[in-house]
């Protein structure tokens, strides 16, 4: 008894044997097999354990609706969990493991859960772990045991060695599903000249034509495929449309290499295609569903159509003696085909009136019994027999039962159109009584649902429907709307119950949800289907309720005394089938996690031994260690050298914007809080701009190069937002202004030479310029053509200081940046100076109280940052109205301050909270934004914001509270300008 391979038939390649291992046991299959078909061919009936009760499970279907044959595939880092054996192609050396069984599939300790089944019903977690006295600690104690005992497959914890891609594709029509309807529609549309992409989740096109077992069906498949390909259509196999999104954007996962024993090096394992079609044709077919009866999850119970698929497509008989239970005519053809291949069959039909196919079935040797339903499966490890009972016209099931010996049970309770994708677009399913199934509601966009996906189950009608849709897309009239129907009619059957008998009847085998769970949810007051779904977990497993949803809703409707379909339906959400995280991340991981920006001097920093750090997307020199120096020694040396001698830093990362046009001055005057109307040519000005709400957006210097030509610099952090803001202002608000703005951040390399001897260093390199204070004052700007070797380089130089020292910023075209940097670095070194990085830059600016994005974090007003006096009183500017709001003018707002530890040997950290000594808790009175050990002052200092500002805290002690690091330091609040407050050094 048991499953076996037929000697002939099927679409497998019998010339190509494939060897694989299941739980270590070497087995043979053929090319064209799935894991499930190969296991059945080897008479492996038990393939895994269930999610909760650890019941033995077998193959239940032949498609993505599978709830039993889920496997771990591969070893180590390549291990993939929850692989559907019904979809995964067999390949040589494949390692397949049953899931959720320990120590073995046959002897599983977790099976003890079955004994506690009465306690593990719906709502177990809510009742056990929520409520008074059910503490988090209790849950955390239990969690690890529960997680070990329950679940599906185990993902590898090793880094994924595979690569994945995202690809964008554009087409006129995307046809999802390459069954007969989809194939015909695709071929017709392609022949009309449309650019058509046809996606099919299977590894062959054909859909139901592959499983029919008849030559004419294979011929039809081949003919349609040839027509499609000849017309230039593109077929994507192993490609599942997993989501349908706004604007018809469709996510399609293509599995590229899982079926290959030796994948091409460099080829991605999966590609996540983002397809932009003009029309989407959904020919996704329908999914056969079973119905609930006792022990309907035993290995050997499967969908009737799956029995035929295995026989006709894979040449595998799932058993020798079958009972096929149905409630409609569609199953008769399956049974007749199986009988013709040698299966001994008893067909029980829930309908009392014999089917029109009954005689034909009997002629094929099938024992047909009308008015019978399955009650309970006998057998533990697999089907041994089926207990059946009579059902009368009213639907009452008689208590007297009979038993039929069999080794496999086929079940068919009808077909559910696959309507997940329209549901993703928010199209609500509605109950169609004529087919006892949900169909998609009206589709407002260019989404066309055809064939059995639309509830049309007659083969010829499906083909007619395909032709209709091609006419519709062409803009032609489509003729009569085809009727949704099950040929021959059907009896609605969702569950078999006998009064007084408790049956373990599963409706969602993947999550071990029984019909009793649904009734219990109802008894406990769960009226909404959405609540019932979450309480019972019905439809929440990887099969997304394909088989179980309708059954669950029917059981719920019955419990509520309502008609099926009136209880509502849960929403299908993407993905339709599981999508690996790798395919979503694609290349954006590791060193490609995000793109990086390099300044033109990047490789020179590396050559100079710089330790680099990230500043947004930029790679910046952090510090340049000498000898054994660590960061602390290096930055202190660099900062001190800047104060005492001369040093140079790369400032290419600053945002740079060319502002040009006859109204450029007016534009800047409206933008900045301070006046720009009278800025002279050849001068720069520090400016601050606000957002509309009065908060500081950014600061920087703007240089006037000509009457109508400015060079604006922004902070590194806000370069992008400022550019966007300027474009928005010009394109939407101030369309009257004739101004061009162009980001030139990448055009110009920037470097700042700072220190008492900066002028001497630059004078040596640029002898053609007059560097005196009179000729080149603070905020002065010059443009000069500099001869370097054989080359003339345009340089823009401004006397600007971020460090507080006498300093100059030099900008050159970025393709000359490295050469100028190199030349100046030599001059700096000759003068006894050094290069300095971000850390020293930070120390210097903190000493001076100069703000960066750490302070200007979007919550800060002009007054908060100490710039209130810069705001013009004579002109409006962006934010000038809303900054006057009373809450923003409140003197108690946190304001920028300097922070000194009372004990100068103490250290504190950025991010700490500033509290009064008597209330070191909560949000405190302010916070610390930046901290450094000041080389100039010789102790730790900080910048931060505190309520009322420095004046309010004169003579008072504040606590710098850092509970995370358990550091509490007494401090005094001082002016943010902690070094050279008058600015003598930068002006001198």
Partner 1 sequence: MAEKLLNPAESLARLSAGRHGKKGGKPGVEFTELHGFTITQIAFFPEQKAAAKAMLKRQFSVPQMPEPTSSCRTNGFLCLRPELGKLWLVSEKPILADLPASMNKYYPLDISASKLCLLVSGPKASSLINRQAAVDLSCPDGQFIATGMHHVGVHILKISEDRYLLMLPSSFAESLADGLFDIACQFGVQISKPAKGSIKGIEG
Q: Which two tokens stand for residue 753?
A: 């030479």
* Min dist. Cβ of residue 738 to partner 1 (A): 5
> What are the residues whose beta carbons fall under 8 Å from the beta carbon of 61, sequence distance 6 or more?
67, 86, 288, 302, 303, 306, 547
Residue 709 interacts with partner 1 (CB under 8 A): yes or no: yes
Q: Closest distance between partner 1 and the C-beta of residue 646, in Å?
A: 24
Return the H-helix or E-strand segment holding 660: strand 655-660
Query: What contacts 8, CB < 8 A, 6 or more positions away?
Result: 315
The SS3 of residue 726 is: helix
User: Applying CB under 8 A, which part among 149-157, 163-171, 440-448, 774-782 lies near partner 1?
Assistant: 163-171
Looking at 660, 713, 861, 934, which residue binds partner 1 (CB under 8 A)? 660
Least separation in angstroms between CB 816 and partner 1: 5
Choice from 107, 145, 266, 923 touching partner 1 (CB under 8 A): 266
User: Which residue of 819, 861, 895, 986 would you call a contact of partner 1, by CB under 8 A?
Assistant: 819
**Calpha distance 348→346 (Å, rounded):** 6
Q: How far is the CB of 632 from partner 1 (least distance, A)?
A: 30
Provide the H-helix boundaries in 631-787: 631-644, 664-671, 719-728, 758-765
Q: Could you say whether residue 119 binds partner 1 (CB under 8 A)?
A: no
The residue within the footprint of partner 1, chosen from 738, 906, 933, 987 (CB under 8 A), is 738
Q: Choose the binding region for partner 1 from 202-210, 258-266, 381-389, 884-892 (rule: CB under 8 A).
A: 258-266
Q: Does 661 bind partner 1 (CB under 8 A)?
A: yes
Using CB under 8 A, pick the residue from 430, 594, 626, 902 that binds partner 1. 594
Angle between helices 180-191 and 215-230 (to 10 degrees): 30
Q: Is there binding between residue 265 and partner 1 (CB under 8 A)?
A: yes
Residue 813 binding partner 1, by CB under 8 A = yes
Near partner 1 by CB under 8 A: residue from 477, 591, 732, 873: 591
Judged by CB under 8 A, the stretch of 230-238, 571-579, 599-607, 625-633 that binds partner 1 is 599-607
Burial of 75 (0-12, 13-18, 19+ CB in 10 A): exposed
Between 91 and 620, CB nearer to partner 1: 620
Residue pair 808/898 in contact by the 8 Å Cβ criterion: no
Among residues 618 and 802, whose Cβ is nearest to partner 1? 618
Q: At what angle do helices 529-536 and 515-523 cross, to 10 degrees?
A: 120
Separation between Cα atoms, residue 176 and residue 127, nearest integer Å: 43
Tell me which of 168, 400, 955, 966 binds partner 1, using CB under 8 A.
168
Q: From residue 745, how far is each of 600, 653, 657, 730, 952 by CA, in Å? A: 11, 7, 7, 20, 41
Q: Minimum distance between the CB of residue 836 and partner 1, rounded to whole angstroms?
A: 21
Residue 446 phi/psi, 5-degree rounding, is -80, 55
Q: By CB under 8 A, name the one of 278, 471, 644, 747 that touches partner 1.
A: 747
Report the distance separating Cα 978 and Cα 899, nearest Å: 9
Q: How far is the CB of 114 from partner 1 (least distance, A)?
A: 48
Q: Which is nearer to partner 1, 1 or 274 (CB)?
A: 274
Question: Does the footprint of partner 1 cover residue 818 (CB under 8 A)?
Answer: yes
The Cα–Cα gap between 56 and 837 comes to 64
| Of residues 251, 566, 289, 234, the one with CA closest to residue 418 | 289
Residue 891 found at the interface with partner 1 (CB under 8 A): no
Place of tokens 């602390």: 632
Taking CB under 8 A as the rule, does residue 251 contact partner 1? no
Residues 613-632 vs partner 1: string with x where CB under 8 A? ----xx--------------
By the 8 A CB rule, do 676 and 685 touch?
A: yes
- CA–CA distance, 987 with 772 (Å, rounded to integer): 12
CA gyration radius, the chain: 38
> Which residues on neighbouring strands pair with residue 103, listed in sequence order?
108
| Cβ at position 598, least distance to partner 1 in Å | 6
Residues contacting 467, CB < 8 A, separation 6+: 184, 185, 188
x-or-dash pattern for partner 1, window 271-290, by CB under 8 A?
A: ---x-x--------------
Closest distance to partner 1 from the beta carbon of 473 (Å): 19
**812 vs 840 by CB, closer to partner 1:** 812
| Distance spanning both ends of the chain, measured CA to CA | 101
Binding segment toward partner 1, per CB under 8 A, in 117-125, 145-153, 425-433, 584-592 = 584-592
Residue 168 or 923 with smaller CB distance to partner 1: 168
What is the C-alpha separation between 127 and 135, in angstroms, rounded?
A: 12
CB of 650 to partner 1, least distance (A): 12
Instruction: Verify binding: residue 733, partner 1, rule CB under 8 A.
Output: no
CB 925 within 8 A of CB 916: yes
- The binding site for partner 1 (CB under 8 A) comprises 163, 165-170, 195, 264-268, 274, 276, 587-588, 591-592, 594-600, 603, 617-618, 652, 658, 660-661, 708-709, 738, 740, 742, 744-748, 785, 788, 791-794, 812-819
């Amino acid at each position: 008894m048991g499953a076996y391979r037929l000697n002939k038939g099927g679409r497998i390649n019998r010339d190509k044997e494939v060897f694989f291992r299941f739980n270590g046991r070497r087995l043979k299959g053929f090319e064209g097999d799935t894991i499930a078909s190969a296991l059945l061919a080897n008479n492996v009936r038990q393939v895994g354990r269930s999610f909760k009760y650890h019941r033995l499970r077998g193959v239940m279907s032949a498609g993505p609706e599978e709830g039993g044959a889920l496997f771990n595939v591969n070893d180590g880092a390549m291990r993939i969990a929850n692989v559907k054996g019904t979809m995964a192609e067999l390949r040589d050396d494949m390692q397949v493991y049953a899931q959720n069984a320990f120590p073995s599939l046959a002897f599983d300790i977790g099976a003890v859960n079955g004994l506690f089944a009465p306690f593990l019903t719906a709502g177990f977690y809510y009742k056990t772990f929520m409520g008074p006295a059910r503490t988090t600690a209790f849950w955390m104690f239990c969690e690890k045991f529960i997680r070990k005992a329950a679940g599906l497959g185990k993902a590898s914890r090793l880094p994924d060695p595979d690569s994945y891609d995202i690809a964008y594709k554009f087409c006129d029509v995307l046809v999802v599903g390459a069954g007969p309807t989809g194939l015909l529609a695709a071929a017709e549309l392609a022949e009309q000249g449309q650019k058509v992409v046809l996606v099919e989740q299977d590894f062959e096109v054909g859909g139901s034509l592959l499983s029919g077992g008849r030559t004419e069906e294979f011929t039809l498949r081949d003919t349609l495929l040839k027509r499609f390909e000849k017309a230039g259509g593109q077929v994507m196999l192993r490609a599942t449309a997993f989501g349908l999104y706004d604007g018809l954007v469709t996510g399609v996962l293509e599995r590229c290499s899982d079926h290959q024993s030796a994948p091409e090096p460099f080829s991605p394992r999966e590609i996540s295609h983002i397809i932009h079609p003009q029309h989407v044709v959904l020919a996704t077919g329908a999914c056969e569903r079973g119905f609930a009866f006792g022990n309907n999850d035993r290995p050997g119970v499967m969908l009737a159509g799956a029995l035929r698929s295995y026989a006709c497509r894979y040449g595998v008989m799932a058993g020798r003696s079958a009972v096929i239970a149905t409630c409609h005519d569609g199953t008769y053809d399956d049974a007749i085909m199986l009988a013709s291949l040698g299966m001994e069959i008893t067909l029980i039909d829930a309908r009392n009136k014999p089917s029109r196919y009954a005689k034909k079935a009997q002629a094929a040797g099938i024992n047909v019994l009308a008015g019978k339903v399955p009650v309970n499966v006998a057998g533990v490890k697999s089907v041994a027999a089926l207990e059946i009972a009579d059902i009368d016209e009213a639907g009452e099931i008689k208590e007297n039962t009979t038993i039929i010996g069999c080794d496999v049970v086929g079940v068919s309770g009808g077909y559910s159109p696959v309507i997940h994708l329209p549901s993703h677009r928010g199209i609500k399913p509605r109950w169609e009584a004529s087919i006892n199934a949900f169909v998609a509601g009206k589709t407002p966009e260019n989404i066309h649902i055809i064939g059995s996906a639309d509830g049309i189950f007659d083969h010829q009608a499906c083909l007619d429907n395909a032709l209709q849709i091609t006419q519709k897309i062409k803009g032609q009239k489509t003729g009569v709307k085809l009727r949704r129907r099950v040929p021959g009619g059907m009896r609605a059957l969702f569950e078999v119950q006998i009064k007084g008998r408790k049956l373990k009847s599963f409706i969602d085998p993947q999550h071990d949800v029984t019909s009793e769970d649904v009734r219990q949810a109802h008894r406990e007051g769960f009226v909404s289907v959405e609540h019932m779904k979450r309480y019972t977990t019905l439809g929440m497993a990887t099969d997304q309720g394909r088989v179980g949803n309708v059954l669950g809703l029917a059981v719920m409707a019955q419990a509520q005394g309502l008609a099926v379909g009136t209880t509502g339906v849960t929403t299908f959400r993407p993905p339709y089938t599981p999508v690996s995280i790798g395919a979503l991340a694609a290349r954006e991981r590791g060193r490609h996690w995000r793109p990086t920006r390099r300044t033109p001097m990047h490789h020179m920093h590396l050559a100079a031994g710089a330790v680099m750090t990230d500043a947004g997307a930029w790679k910046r020199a952090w510090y340049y260690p000498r000898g054994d120096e660590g960061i602390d020694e290096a930055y202190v040396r660099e900062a001190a050298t800047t104060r005492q001698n001369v040093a140079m830093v790369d400032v290419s990362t600053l945002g740079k914007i060319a502002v040009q046009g006859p109204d450029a001055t007016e534009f800047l005057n409206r933008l900045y809080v301070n006046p720009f109307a009278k800025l002279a040519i050849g001068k720069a000005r520090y400016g601050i701009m606000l957002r509309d709400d009065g908060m500081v957006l950014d600061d920087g210097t703007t240089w006037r190069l000509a009457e109508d030509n400015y060079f604006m610099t922004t902070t590194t952090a806000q370069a992008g937002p400022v550019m966007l803001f300027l474009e928005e202002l010009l394109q939407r608000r101030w369309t009257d202004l004739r101004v061009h703005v162009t980001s030139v951040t990448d055009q110009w390399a920037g470097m700042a030479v700072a220190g008492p001897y900066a002028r001497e260093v630059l004078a040596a390199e640029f002898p053609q310029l007059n560097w005196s204070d009179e000729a080149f004052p603070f905020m002065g700007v010059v443009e000069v053509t500099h001869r370097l070797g054989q080359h003339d380089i345009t340089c823009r130089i401004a006397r600007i200081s971020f460090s507080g020292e006498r300093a100059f910023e030099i900008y050159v075209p970025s393709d000359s940046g490295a050469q100028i940097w190199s030349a100046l670095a030599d001059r700096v070194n000759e003068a006894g100076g050094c290069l300095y990085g971000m850390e020293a830059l930070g120390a210097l600016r903190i000493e001076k109280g100069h703000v960066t994005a750490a302070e200007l974090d979007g919550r800060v007003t002009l007054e908060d940052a100490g710039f209130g006096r810069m705001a013009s009183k004579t002109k409006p500017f962006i934010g000038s109205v809303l900054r006057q709001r009373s809450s923003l003018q409140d003197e108690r707002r946190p304001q920028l301050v300097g922070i000194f530890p009372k004990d100068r040997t103490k250290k504190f950290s950025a991010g700490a909270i500033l509290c009064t000594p008597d209330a070191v808790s909560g949000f405190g009175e302010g916070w610390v934004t930046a901290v450094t050990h000041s080389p100039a002052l010789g102790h730790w200092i900080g910048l931060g914001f505190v309520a009322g500002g420095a004046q309010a805290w004169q003579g008072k002690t504040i606590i710098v509270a850092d509970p995370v690091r358990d550091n509490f330091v007494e401090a005094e609040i001082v002016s943010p300008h902690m070094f050279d407050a008058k600015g003598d050094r930068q002006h001198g």
